[in-house]
Amino acid sequence: MRCSSLARGRSAGTVLAAWLLAMALTPSMWAHAQTDSRIQVLFARAERLFRAGEHEAAVPLVDRVIERIDERGDDIPERLRLLLFRSLTYRVIGRWSTGARKGIDADLDRIVELDPRFEMSSDDVPRELVARFAGRRQRKIGYLQISVFPADSRVLVDGQPVDPLPDILPVLAGEHNIYADNPGFAGRTETVRVRSNRTEGVSIELERASATIRLATQPAGATLVIDDDLIGVTVAALGQAGGEEASESIVIEGLLPGWHEIEITLPDHRPFRQRIEIPDLMDYDLGTVRLDRSMGVVLLRGVPRAAEVLMDGESPPLQWQADLAASRGREGSARIELPVGSYRLVIRHGAAGIYESDLVVEDGATLRLDVALRPGLVFVGVVGGDDLDRDAVRTALLTRIERIDGWFVLDRSGDGSLEQIAGLRRSEMGTGDPEELREAVDWARLQQEVATQTSGSLFMLATVPEGTPPGVFDLWLWSAPPGSARPQRVRLAVDDQERLGMLTTQLREPLPRSRPWFGATLIDNGSSGRPTVVWVEPTGPAAMAGLKVGDEIRTVDGVEVTGVAELQQLLGATEPFAGRTLQYGRGASIAVARLTLGSSPQSIATLRSERLNAVIWAAAAAQIARADATTPAWVAELDQALILMQGAQWERAAEWLAAVRAPEDLPFGQSAVDYWRGVALSSGPEPDLEAARLALRLAAGRAGGRLHHHDGPLVAPRALARLAELELRHHDS
Amino acid sequence: MSGGIARGLLGGGLLALAAIAAVAFTTTAAVAGGKLAGGVAQAEAIFAEAENLLRVGRVEQARASYERVIKEYTAAEYPQLVWRAAARVRLGDIQWRSSERALAGAEYVGVLEQEPPSFWTGRARLGLATVVLAGGDWVSAADMMQRVVTAAELGAADANVPAAEEARRRLTLIARFRLRPPLDQPLWTSTRALAISGLEFDRPVSLAAAADGQLLVVDEGLPSVLLIDASHANHSRLRYNDHTRPWWGPDGLPYLPTRRAGVIALGGGHLGFLAGDRGKPAPVKDLQAGARTLDGHWYLLDSSPRRILHFGPQGEYANRVTRELEQPVDLTVDASGRLYLLDRSSRAVVRFRADGTREGRVVSSAWRRPESVEVDWLGNIYVLDRDARTIEVFNEQGRRIARLGPSLPGGVALRGPRDIAVDGQGRLYVADRSASAVYVVQ
């Protein structure tokens, strides 16, 4: 099999490169190239003179051109043949016009020999010269009348293609070989002698040798294999620069009747394979074979609709489809169709966090990913000290934080732009008093600009103040807006494993998890030596188990308990919703109850000096943004309000809490929110005492309301105590 | 006119607490450095000065020092400073005993919510529990006190062992008086005679009990004054010198009035008092009983004439508390500083508020010979009727809630009861001269 029309349209660059390569290999050819260019320059000069009518001046130049070309002997390349033809033509016209007609006939003969089909016209040439040329021509040429079947066959006369094939073909008198071929037909040669001024007819009928298949591919560039034989690669049509356009058609011949396997392949596209039957020795046209791109699907589960999804930095079109998650009130899954290949997936969703993954899309396959957004922890960098100090600090910190689950760590310490944003220079490191640095930096601006440059929930910047011992540094932490820009500072040392461990502990579990809920208050009763019930939450687990005021707990799952602390430790080690068996005394009798512990959310304790508030704020923001079902959003919002209160942002905290809606029917719920709101409203330089009293009264009015968790301290006594103080302040004012 | 007292060495109590606080500070102060360390030391010094002032009864000056610690050493600059929490607790205590008791609760709450967990958190919880209980909410008070106990048991950051012991006693008291009655259970179920190795009572005539159960017994037959430890297993003897009815002060010190030698404060010093509204002050003699408030005021009962006299913290004479026709036989003060006097003539207990104003008769009964009055932390009032050989118990509002004797729980019969005492968990002690016994009822 062979194929025609392949690889046409190679670029000029390819030709030049090949030519240069050839020149490199053939020094003589390089010399010829030099000569050829001189000839062209000469010819150009002669042509200018000739067109200007200066025939007398042009002829000598033309003589030299012809002379130089003749020096090449028989090996005259095609481009020089054309120059020779034109030069002879100019010389003839020039000599004729100047009257120096000697040798004109020889020139006219050569013109005819160079192009038998050339006919001189009288438009620009004297009629006598035209007649003279015609006479010389008549002596030298004859005519061929070629008919060929099939009519679209390729015809070569003496090895040169004749296309289109004229009815009458002028040729030099003499013997000529006419060759015809056609895909699917056996080529055939006929030799004919042509006499001058005579027409010789030639008829060539080609015999069928094989069937042919014509096809094109879309896109071009596909590799064609038939019956495991490589046929070739389709090329783009002329004028097309690639892309998805169809190729030029190709014709494959040499196919015999029977079954044949066609395979067309193109990278990143699905292969085309077809088994075809060729019944007869005929021409068959398969048209344009369209190759489909190889595509895969990526299914992202758990992505919020508002999240930004990027594949290699671009936003692909997303299709949302319902699934089990959607039926549970969540977003469903995002479906992305992509060409096969490797991608870097990045998902960002504000405070909810970041997700990144490298993935490989395979043809026809669906890749399912469960997306768990993690809040971004951005390490801005290290400022101050020398290179060794900064490297040591960076290593100490990154070694610790990179392995922490729950955060997506972004190391921007190599990004000098963030440090520039910080506006921190060595001179600002000051005398080593970090509080001077705290006042020197515009932290609000820093927070805004860093947050604009990079996604993240929590930011860390290390400083090495002058005058501190080697290895000692300050770590400044702040959360993304709307958290406080005013950072917390922790003094650490690169070899202080304990303090560094404290940092990672804070990061690992910034927020308290839910805890088991018992639902009763017990006291150590010295008279009986048993934990004794003094209060039972009516809707709580203890009430469900049947416990009442006065009951004395004796054992838990058979283990004797003699104190409340012991009982709390036993129950505290139980998972929420787990069951325990309690034996208790009621009066003179002993009974057994099956207790199923409940589950209580937990808020942060009010003040823990070692706690990192920025970490908590960021973690709470992420919880809220992720709509984490395990922790109610109102608890995270309450935690954030407590952080605001820690920072003495009373007014902001009060506004924050005004928007929080917590359950009214659970011990730890709206009463706690009202209480803290009352505290916030009554604090600060401009308290709103009336609103504070209202909030505290609401808090005090809910019996059994608790702080921190369902078994936490009671709200009412604290609210009443604060109310008493407010009443006195109001009275005094 | 003012009197004076000979100052002795008053140890224990507040100073003991200050020492414990110093240990806690050292632990947390290790974090401070540089100029902060200097500030912490200064705060400690101011606090210690305030403690001294409070101990000697200079309450307003002490208050000023506590307020200085709070104002000058803020949480922003000294987030870990324990002395600020300590000062706030003390301020709350002072407010509770003054006309500003409405502010005390908020002060304690502030410590719980705004200060780092420390030894003083337990004291703040106890203080708040007292405020809450005064409002009638014993359940919330119990909840708070149990947290103090649990924190100490678990070794938490806010562990306070002394406060936990006090809380534990109060919880037992609450269990006795709040849980048992609704369940129709008796408040006391058994009686035993104190049996201490190497000691046989002869004629015990008066006694006093500390909150933890330590006892001071005056036995005129031995004759000795016996100091019995909280386990009731060991004792020590002091020389008897016409002692009358001892009392155990809220400062944790026992006091022994005498007929001739004023008041002996165990641990140091004889204290003599001079009193007189007109003319030259005269020594107060033949002291029968007495009481001392937490801010150091003295109330002394002398028998000729029978009157109760009030002295200031420095021993300066203040005023006579009783009226002309009153025949006081005993007196006591409660945890919030209220004074109770038992008037035989009117067969009543008269109560005075902490600010000294007379509240009036809180209890009245047809006693034959009321001899002794006691008050527990819940405000329950106990009155011994010597001739009837009964002990009646009244709640804070004056309603009788129990009557013991002549047969005590468990069947022990009183023969000649002369004095009663009650400890922090509600155990009742009876000195029975005729039976030569001291009974413990629990």
* CATH code, A495: 3.90.950
pLDDT tens for each residue of A393-412: 999 999 888 878 888 888 88
User: Is A127 among the domain residues?
Assistant: no
More confident residue, A325 or A507: A507
CB contacts, 8 Å: B179 with chain A: 525, 532, 534, 549-550
pLDDT tens for each residue of A205-248: 999 999 999 999 999 999 999 999 999 999 988 776 657 788 99
Q: Kindly state the helix (H) or strand (E) to which residue A516 belongs, with its residue range.
A: strand A515-517
CA atoms within 13 A on the CB side of A60: 3
Q: Shortest CB distance from B174 goes to which of A523, A724, A725?
A: A523
Lowest-confidence pick of A606-610, B59-63, B86-90: A606-610
Cβ of residue A431 closer than 8 Å to a chain B Cβ: no
Does A392 share its domain with A497?
A: yes
Does a cis peptide bond (omega within 30 degrees of 0) precede residue A317?
no
pLDDT at residue B346 tops 80: yes
Q: A321 has which bridge partners?
A: A333
- What percent of chain B has pLDDT above 90? 59
In this prediction, residue A424 carries a pLDDT of 56
Average pLDDT of the segment spanning B150-164: 93
Q: How far is CA A626 from CA A304, A623, A709, B319, B355, in A?
A: 8, 5, 22, 71, 58
Q: How far is CA B357 from CA A572, B322, B337, in A?
A: 50, 12, 12
Lowest-confidence pick of A7-16, A104-113, A537-546, B311-320: A7-16
Q: Which two tokens stand for residue A44?
A: 């150009």
Does A707 share its domain with A594?
A: no
Q: Which two tokens stand for residue B331?
A: 């007196």
Contacts 24+ apart (CB under 8 A), B84-89: B84/B43, B84/B115, B85/B111, B85/B115, B85/B116, B85/B118, B85/B120, B85/B121, B85/B124, B86/B21, B86/B47, B86/B120, B87/B47, B87/B50, B88/B115, B88/B120, B88/B124, B89/B120, B89/B123, B89/B124, B89/B127
Cβ of residue A563 closer than 8 Å to a chain B Cβ: yes
pLDDT tens for each residue of A514-526: 889 999 999 999 8
User: Is A75 among the domain residues?
Assistant: yes
Chosen domain end from A473, A489, A508: A508
Tell me the residue type at A624: I
Does A337 share its domain with A271?
A: no
Residue of A nearest to B77 (CA): A435
In this prediction, residue A4 carries a pLDDT of 52
Q: Which two tokens stand for residue B211?
A: 């909150």
Q: Which two tokens stand for residue A138?
A: 């008549």
The CATH class given to the B191-441 domain equals mainly beta
Does A485 share its domain with A585?
A: no
**A52: CATH:** 1.25.40
pLDDT at residue A375 tops 70: yes
- Our CA angle for A356, A358, A360, nearest 5°, is 140
Q: Average pLDDT over chain A, rounded to whole? A: 86
Question: Which domain covers residue A405, as residue numbers?
Answer: 376-508
pLDDT at residue B16 tops 50: no
User: Is A61 among the domain residues?
Assistant: yes
User: Is A206 among the domain residues?
Assistant: no
Is beta strand A515-517 parallel, antiparallel or unpaired with respect to A488-493?
Answer: unpaired
Q: Shortest CB distance from B168 goes to which of A524, A606, A721?
A: A524
Q: How far is CA A691 from CA A39, A655, A675, A698, B386, in A?
A: 104, 12, 12, 11, 58
Tell me the residue type at A544: M
Helix, strand, or coil (residue B372): strand
Average pLDDT of the segment spanning A346-352: 84
Does A272 share its domain with A313?
A: no
pLDDT at residue B414 tops 90: yes
- pTM of this prediction? 0.72
Residues 511-550 (A) with a CB less than 8 A from some CB of B: 521-528, 532, 534-535, 549-550
Q: Which two tokens stand for residue B197?
A: 């190795």
Gap between the Cα atoms of B293 and B296, Å rounded: 5
pLDDT tens for each residue of A237-294: 877 665 778 899 999 999 999 999 999 999 889 999 999 999 999 999 999 999 998 8
Query: Which of A123-127, A638-642, B36-40: highest mean pLDDT?
Result: A638-642
User: Is A397 among the domain residues?
Assistant: yes
Q: Which of A716, A708, A721, A722 is nearest to A680 (CA)?
A: A722
Tell me the residue type at A339: P
In this prediction, residue A23 carries a pLDDT of 46
Does A275 share its domain with A326?
A: no
Q: Which of B345, B266, B273, B277 is nearest to B302 (CA)?
A: B273
Gap between the Cα atoms of A600 and A605, Å rounded: 15
A218 close to A288: Cβ distance less than 8 angstroms: yes
Gap between the Cα atoms of A53 and A98, Å rounded: 11
**A348: CATH:** 2.60.40
pLDDT tens for each residue of A113-141: 999 888 888 777 888 899 999 999 999 99
pLDDT tens for each residue of A555-571: 999 999 989 999 998 88
Helix, strand, or coil (residue A114): helix
Domain ranges, ordered by start, for chain B: 14-183, 191-441
pLDDT at residue B17 tops 70: no
CB contacts, 8 Å: A526 with chain B: 168-169, 171-172, 175, 425
Does A382 share its domain with A364?
A: no
Q: Which of A554, A519, A548 is nearest to A533 (CA)?
A: A548
Q: Which of B179, B189, B427 to mutate to test the interface with A (most CBs of A within 10 A)?
A: B179
Strands (E) across A362-513 are located at: 366-370, 376-384, 408-411, 458-464, 472-479, 488-493
A218 close to A291: Cβ distance less than 8 angstroms: yes
Q: Which of B125, B138, B140, B173 to mutate to test the interface with A (most CBs of A within 10 A)?
A: B140
Cβ of residue A17 closer than 8 Å to a chain B Cβ: no
In this prediction, residue B99 carries a pLDDT of 75
Q: Which of A468, A502, A527, A729 to mutate to test the interface with B (most CBs of B within 10 A)?
A: A527
CATH no. for B14-183 = 1.25.40.10
Average pLDDT of the segment spanning B221-249: 88
CB contacts, 8 Å: A496 with chain B: none
Chosen domain end from A64, A89, A115: A115
Q: Decide if A523 and B175 are in contact by the 8 Å CB cutoff.
A: yes
Q: For B75-92, give the DSSP string.
A: TTT-TT-HHHHHHHHHHH
Tell me the residue type at B191: T
- Our CA angle for A152, A158, A161, nearest 5°, is 35
User: Is A147 among the domain residues?
Assistant: no
Structure letter (DSSP) for residue A288: E
Gap between the Cα atoms of A462 and A665, Å rounded: 46
Does A520 share its domain with A400?
A: no
A219 close to A245: Cβ distance less than 8 angstroms: yes
B295 close to B97: Cβ distance less than 8 angstroms: yes
pLDDT at residue B104 tops 90: yes
A618 close to A375: Cβ distance less than 8 angstroms: yes
Does A641 share its domain with A572?
A: no
pLDDT at residue A415 tops 70: no
pLDDT at residue B216 tops 70: yes
Average pLDDT of the segment spanning A302-313: 88
Contacts 24+ apart (CB under 8 A), A322-326: A325/A301
Q: Which of B11, B81, B8 is nearest to B44 (CA)?
A: B81
CB contacts, 8 Å: B178 with chain A: 534
Does A25 share its domain with A79?
A: yes
What Rg value do the Cα atoms of chain A yield, rounded? 47
A630 close to A515: Cβ distance less than 8 angstroms: no
pLDDT at residue B7 tops 80: no
Chosen domain end from A600, A629, A663: A600
Does A357 share its domain with A236?
A: no
User: Is A246 among the domain residues?
Assistant: yes
In this prediction, residue B20 carries a pLDDT of 25
Gap between the Cα atoms of A209 and A219, Å rounded: 31
Summary count for chain B: helices (H), strands (E): 8, 26
Q: Average pLDDT over chain B, rounded to whole? A: 85
In this prediction, residue A18 carries a pLDDT of 43
More confident residue, A468 or B119: B119
Structure letter (DSSP) for residue A86: H
Does a cis peptide bond (omega within 30 degrees of 0) precede residue B257?
no
pLDDT tens for each residue of A11-37: 444 444 444 444 444 555 666 677 788
Q: Kindly state the helix (H) or strand (E) to which residue A731 belongs, with its residue range.
A: helix A715-732
Gap between the Cα atoms of A370 and A372, Å rounded: 6
**A223: CATH:** 2.60.40.1120
Q: Which of A570, A725, A730 to mutate to test the interface with B (most CBs of B within 10 A)?
A: A725
Domain count for chain A: 6
A522 close to A532: Cβ distance less than 8 angstroms: yes
Cβ of residue A703 closer than 8 Å to a chain B Cβ: no
pLDDT at residue B22 tops 60: no
Q: How far is CA A490 from CA A42, A272, B439, in A?
A: 87, 65, 61
Q: Decide if B174 and A727 are in contact by the 8 Å CB cutoff.
A: no
Gap between the Cα atoms of A570 and A556, Å rounded: 8
Structure letter (DSSP) for residue B175: I
Average pLDDT of the segment spanning A485-512: 86
pLDDT tens for each residue of A429-456: 444 567 777 777 778 888 888 887 777 8
- Our CA angle for A321, A323, A329, nearest 5°, is 100
**Those residues with Cβ within 8 angstroms of residue B407's Cβ, 6 or more apart along the chain or in another chain:** B413, B414
Does A396 share its domain with A454?
A: yes
Average pLDDT of the segment spanning A713-729: 92
Q: Decide if A534 and B105 are in contact by the 8 Å CB cutoff.
A: no
Gap between the Cα atoms of A481 and A458, Å rounded: 10
pLDDT at residue B272 tops 50: yes
Q: Which two tokens stand for residue A644?
A: 């605001």
pLDDT tens for each residue of A357-372: 899 999 889 999 998 8
